[in-house]
Protein backbone atom coordinates (compact mmCIF):
# COMPACT_ATOMS: atom_id res chain seq x y z
CA UNK A 1 0.00 0.00 0.00
CA UNK A 2 1.44 3.36 -0.99
CA UNK A 3 1.23 5.73 1.93
CA UNK A 4 0.70 9.44 1.50
CA UNK A 5 3.75 11.56 2.33
CA UNK A 6 4.44 15.29 2.33
CA UNK A 7 7.83 16.97 2.51
CA UNK A 8 8.47 20.65 3.16
CA UNK A 9 11.68 22.63 3.50
CA UNK A 10 12.21 25.98 5.15
CA UNK A 11 14.96 28.14 6.60
CA UNK A 12 14.98 28.20 10.39
CA UNK A 13 17.63 29.93 12.48
CA UNK A 14 19.99 30.02 9.50
CA UNK A 15 19.68 26.30 8.82
CA UNK A 16 17.52 24.33 6.40
CA UNK A 17 14.75 22.42 8.15
CA UNK A 18 13.14 19.42 6.46
CA UNK A 19 9.70 18.37 7.69
CA UNK A 20 8.16 15.11 6.51
CA UNK A 21 4.61 13.98 7.29
CA UNK A 22 3.80 10.29 6.81
CA UNK A 23 0.33 8.80 6.80
CA UNK A 24 0.95 5.70 8.93
CA UNK A 25 -1.09 3.99 11.69
CA UNK A 26 1.89 3.51 14.07
CA UNK A 27 0.12 0.77 16.02
CA UNK A 28 1.94 -0.40 19.16
CA UNK A 29 0.52 -3.92 19.28
CA UNK A 30 -0.74 -3.18 22.80
CA UNK A 31 -4.18 -1.73 22.00
CA UNK A 32 -7.35 -3.77 21.65
CA UNK A 33 -10.10 -3.30 19.09
CA UNK A 34 -13.10 -1.91 20.98
CA UNK A 35 -15.59 -4.07 19.07
CA UNK A 36 -13.80 -7.41 18.88
CA UNK A 37 -11.61 -7.08 22.00
CA UNK A 38 -8.76 -8.56 19.92
CA UNK A 39 -5.29 -7.01 20.04
CA UNK A 40 -4.50 -4.78 17.08
CA UNK A 41 -1.25 -6.08 15.52
CA UNK A 42 1.86 -3.91 15.82
CA UNK A 43 2.49 -1.80 12.71
CA UNK A 44 5.05 0.98 13.06
CA UNK A 45 7.92 2.67 11.24
CA UNK A 46 11.25 1.22 12.31
CA UNK A 47 13.82 3.12 10.28
CA UNK A 48 14.01 6.47 8.49
CA UNK A 49 16.90 7.92 6.51
CA UNK A 50 17.60 11.38 5.11
CA UNK A 51 19.86 11.80 2.10
CA UNK A 52 21.24 15.20 1.14
CA UNK A 53 22.51 15.45 -2.45
CA UNK A 54 22.78 11.64 -2.58
CA UNK A 55 24.76 11.29 0.68
CA UNK A 56 23.37 9.83 3.90
CA UNK A 57 22.87 12.78 6.27
CA UNK A 58 20.79 11.25 9.07
CA UNK A 59 19.34 7.94 10.17
CA UNK A 60 16.67 7.39 12.81
CA UNK A 61 15.39 4.20 14.42
CA UNK A 62 11.84 4.32 15.77
CA UNK A 63 9.80 2.13 18.06
CA UNK A 64 6.21 1.95 19.20
CA UNK A 65 6.33 5.29 21.04
CA UNK A 66 5.76 7.45 17.94
CA UNK A 67 2.28 8.80 17.26
CA UNK A 68 0.01 8.02 14.34
CA UNK A 69 0.79 10.01 11.16
CA UNK A 70 4.16 11.22 12.45
CA UNK A 71 5.65 14.59 11.55
CA UNK A 72 9.44 14.27 11.66
CA UNK A 73 11.89 17.15 11.35
CA UNK A 74 15.57 17.31 10.42
CA UNK A 75 17.92 20.31 10.30
CA UNK A 76 20.89 20.52 7.97
CA UNK A 77 23.74 22.94 8.60
CA UNK A 78 25.23 22.79 5.12
CA UNK A 79 22.12 22.68 2.89
CA UNK A 80 21.21 25.49 0.55
CA UNK A 81 18.48 26.32 -1.95
CA UNK A 82 18.54 23.99 -4.94
CA UNK A 83 19.99 21.01 -3.03
CA UNK A 84 18.17 17.68 -3.27
CA UNK A 85 16.86 15.80 -0.24
CA UNK A 86 15.29 12.35 -0.02
CA UNK A 87 13.57 10.73 2.95
CA UNK A 88 13.01 6.96 3.03
CA UNK A 89 11.38 4.77 5.67
CA UNK A 90 10.58 1.12 6.35
CA UNK A 91 8.26 -0.49 8.88
CA UNK A 92 7.96 -3.75 10.78
CA UNK A 93 5.61 -5.24 8.16
CA UNK A 94 7.95 -4.64 5.22
CA UNK A 95 6.25 -1.52 3.89
CA UNK A 96 8.49 1.22 2.58
CA UNK A 97 8.11 4.77 1.36
CA UNK A 98 10.20 7.56 -0.06
CA UNK A 99 9.85 11.19 -1.06
CA UNK A 100 12.25 13.60 -2.73
CA UNK A 101 12.32 17.39 -2.94
CA UNK A 102 14.50 20.32 -3.87
CA UNK A 103 15.39 22.63 -0.98
CA UNK A 104 13.57 25.91 -1.07
CA UNK A 105 14.20 28.15 1.93
Paired with 98 in beta bridges are 88
CA distances from 101 to 14, 18, 40, 43 (A): 19, 10, 34, 27
Distance (Å) of CA 104 to CA 16, 35, 48? 9, 46, 22
User: Over 70: is that where the pLDDT of 92 sits?
Assistant: yes
Alpha carbon 47 to its chain centroid, in Å, reads 8
Domains of the chain (ranges; CATH) run 5-102 (2.60.40.10)
What are the tens digits of pLDDT across the range 17-61? Answer: 999 999 999 999 999 999 999 999 999 999 999 999 999 999 999
Give the per-residue pLDDT at 2.
Answer: 83
Q: Considering the entire predicted model, what is its pTM?
A: 0.92
Amino acid sequence: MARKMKLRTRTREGKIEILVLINHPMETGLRKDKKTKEKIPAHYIQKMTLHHNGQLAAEANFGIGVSEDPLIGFRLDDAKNGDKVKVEWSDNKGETGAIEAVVEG
